[in-house]
Amino acid sequence: MVTSITSFGRSGLYDWMFQRVTAVVLLAFTVFMMGYMLFNPNLDYQQWSQLFGCSPMRIFTLLAILSMAAHAWIGMWSISTDYIKPTGFRFLFQSACGLLMFVYVAWGIQILWGV
C-alpha cells in the first residue's frame, strides 16, 4: 500500500467515488443552467436574482460549487503527482490549488447569499 497525506480522502476508492459523484452533480447543474437559459432567452436582473434568491437554488448551487472544488482538487492532485517530481514544487502547486479552491468556495458563498 502506498501512503499519501495530500490526496482528498487518503483512499483511492474514496477519491474515485467522490470524483464520479461530483461529476454527476456538475452535469446536473450544467444541464439545468443551460435549460434555464434556453427557455428564458431574455433574462433580466429581476428574474436572475429571483432564481438565485430561492433556497432550493442556493442549496443546489452551493452543492455544485463544493462539488467543483472537490472534483478539481482530486484532478489537480493527480496531475501534480504525475508530472511534478520535485517534492517542494509539487507541494507548492498543491497548496496553490487548495488555496484557489478555498477562495472560489468562499467567494461563491458570498455571491450566492449577497443576491
Partner 1 sequence: MLVSVYRYNPEIDDAPYMQDIHIDIPGGKDIMVLDLLQLLKDKDPTLGYRRSCREGVCGSDGMNMNGLNGLACITPLSEVVESDKLVLRPLPGLPVIRDLVVDMTQFYTQYEKIKPFLINDTPPPAIERLQSPEERAELDGLYECILCACCSTACPSFWWNPDKFIGPSGLLQAYRFLADSRDTATAERLTDLDDPFSVFRCHGIMNCVAVCPKGLNPTKAIGKIRNMLLAQAT
Rounded to the nearest whole angstrom, what is the least distance from the CB of residue 97 to partner 1 in the complex? 15
| Measured CA angle at 64 (ends 109, 37), to 5 deg | 95
Rounded to the nearest whole angstrom, what is the least distance from the CB of residue 103 to partner 1 in the complex? 25
Which is nearer to partner 1, 10 or 37 (by Cβ)? Answer: 10
How far apart CA 24 and CA 73 sit, in angstroms, is: 16
Output the nine-digit C-alpha cell for 27.
452535469
Rounded to the nearest whole angstrom, what is the least distance from the CB of residue 17 to partner 1 in the complex? 7
Cβ proximity of 29 and 64 under 8 Å: yes
Which is nearer to partner 1, 13 or 38 (by Cβ)? Answer: 13
Which is nearer to partner 1, 19 or 61 (by Cβ)? Answer: 19
How far apart CA 68 and CA 27 sit, in angstroms, is: 11
Cβ proximity of 40 and 47 under 8 Å: yes
Which is nearer to partner 1, 12 or 35 (by Cβ)? Answer: 12
The residues binding partner 1 (CB under 8 A) are: 1-4, 7, 10-13, 15-17, 77-78, 81-83
Rounded to the nearest whole angstrom, what is the least distance from the CB of residue 84 to partner 1 in the complex? 10
Query: CB atoms < 10 A from the CB of 101, how many?
Result: 19
